[in-house]
Amino acid sequence: MSGLLAGKRLLVTGVITDASIAFSVAKLAQENGATVVLTGFGRLSLVERIAKRLPEPAPVIELDVTNQEHLDSLGSRVREHVDGLDGVVHSIGFAPQSALGGTFLETPWEDVAQALHVSTFSYKSLATACLPLMDQGGSIVGMTFDATKAYPLYDWMGVAKAGLESASRYLAMYLGKHGIRSNIVSAGPLRTMAAKSIPGFSDFEDAWTRRAPLGWELTNPEPTAKAVCALLSDWFPATTGEMVHVDGGYHAIAA
């Protein structure tokens, strides 16, 4: 099959609904020639139903990124479907409600630790779990919401995303010798299930639609998916440790 990702074998995490950024990535990747394997956690049957809506139904592997047994067995379970990987998409994040919504000063460490484990440390965990599958090199791409600024109500998830962005740079440094690139895509606000859990998310939406020089479509994940697929492709062979903004240009404009 021809396409930007022809012949690529990809592992895509984070598909929850067909509005997920990860679903759009998986769909676009298949349309461009990739073979895709998905992971799911919790409501696995829901992910399996969503996987059937792709151009080609994709296998779904259970993966809790905080479960070391899941991580240790990931390689063998992926090999049941493909003989290796050329790319990995990390689209995973979670923070307890106490870590969002303006209670930054009161959030207990236990909840902060959970946010950091799921949203930050998991990037390294997923990368090392997939490393034996990437003996030909490849690309790892993570998703962030630009953490160079503090956003009202985003609180400890913003801290977790800042750690994710830093972790990507360190992975770029340590995985370069394996021919593996690590990059982050910073998307503008999109009406995904994850976004619905953020108190005051509509404030982000209003700001973006007013200020983004190119405009911003809150319900269109395709521009973000295109950036992810480009970074997974061979068209960025010497780019690593980078953060690509897909936000209509909002990040470049002063408040």
Q: According to the model, what pLDDT value does residue 194 have?
A: 62
Q: According to the model, what pLDDT value does residue 152 have?
A: 83
8 Å CB contact between 23 and 52: no
Q: What token pair was written down for 136?
A: 């030909």
pTM (2 d.p.)? 0.94
Q: According to the model, what pLDDT value does residue 206 have?
A: 74
Q: Which of 227, 236, 63, 40 is nearest to 138 (CA)?
A: 236
Distance of alpha carbon 241 from alpha carbon 225, whole angstroms: 19
Q: According to the model, what pLDDT value does residue 10 have?
A: 98
Secondary structure (3-state) at 177: helix
Q: According to the model, what pLDDT value does residue 196 have?
A: 59
Distance of alpha carbon 14 from alpha carbon 38, whole angstroms: 8
Q: According to the model, what pLDDT value does residue 254 have?
A: 75
Distance of alpha carbon 223 from alpha carbon 248, whole angstroms: 9
H/E stretch holding 182 reads strand 180-187
Distance of alpha carbon 99 from alpha carbon 107, whole angstroms: 6
8 Å CB contact between 75 and 220: no
Q: Per-residue pLDDT for the chain (255 aa), expressed as one digit of tens each? A: 469 999 999 999 999 898 899 999 999 999 999 999 999 998 889 999 999 999 999 999 999 999 999 999 999 999 999 999 999 999 999 999 999 999 999 999 999 999 999 999 999 999 999 999 999 999 999 999 999 989 888 999 999 999 999 999 999 999 999 999 999 999 988 866 565 566 666 666 777 888 899 998 988 999 999 999 999 999 999 999 999 999 999 999 876
Q: According to the model, what pLDDT value does residue 207 have?
A: 78
Q: According to the model, what pLDDT value does residue 200 have?
A: 62
